[in-house]
A and B are shown apart, each in its own frame.
Chain A
Amino acid sequence: DTAVSQTPKYLVTQMGNDKSIKCEQNLGHDTMYWYKQDSKKFLKIMFSYNNKELIINETVPNRFSPKSPDKAHLNLHINSLELGDSAVYFCASSQGWVGGSNQPQHFGDGTRLSIL
Chain B
Amino acid sequence: EDKVVQSPLSLVVHEGDTVTLNCSYEVTNFRSLLWYKQEKKAPTFLFMLTSSGIEKKSGRLSSILDKKELFSILNITATQTGDSAIYLCAVAPRNQFYFGTGTSLTVIP
CB-defined contacts of A55 to chain B, threshold 8 Å: 95
Q: What is the 8 Å Cβ interface bit string for chain A, positions 9-33, against chain B (1 contact, 0 not)?
A: 0000000000000000000000001
Closest beta carbon of chain A to B45's beta carbon, Å: 4
What is the bound-complex CA distance between A55 and B96, given in angstroms? 9
Spell out B's residues near A (CB within 8 Å).
Answer: 31-32, 34, 38, 41-45, 48, 50, 86, 88, 90, 92-99, 101-102, 104
Instruction: Please state if A110 and B41 are interface contacts (CB–CB under 8 Å).
Output: yes
Instruction: Please state if B93 and A99 are interface contacts (CB–CB under 8 Å).
Output: yes
What is the bound-complex CA distance between A108 and B42, given in angstroms? 6
Q: A40-B101, A102-B48, A102-B50 are in contact. Are A97 and B95 (CB under 8 A)?
A: yes
What is the bound-complex CA distance between A65 and B83, given in angstroms? 37
Q: A97-B92, A108-B42 are in contact. List 14 more A-B contacts (CB 8 A).
A: A33-B97, A41-B86, A41-B101, A43-B88, A48-B97, A56-B96, A90-B42, A90-B43, A99-B96, A106-B45, A107-B43, A107-B44, A109-B42, A110-B42
Q: What total count of A-B pairs have CB within 8 Å?
A: 61
Residue A44 is within 8 A (CB to CB) of chain B in the complex = yes
Residue A8 is within 8 A (CB to CB) of chain B in the complex = no
B34 is contacted by which of A90, A98, A106 (Cβ under 8 Å)? A98
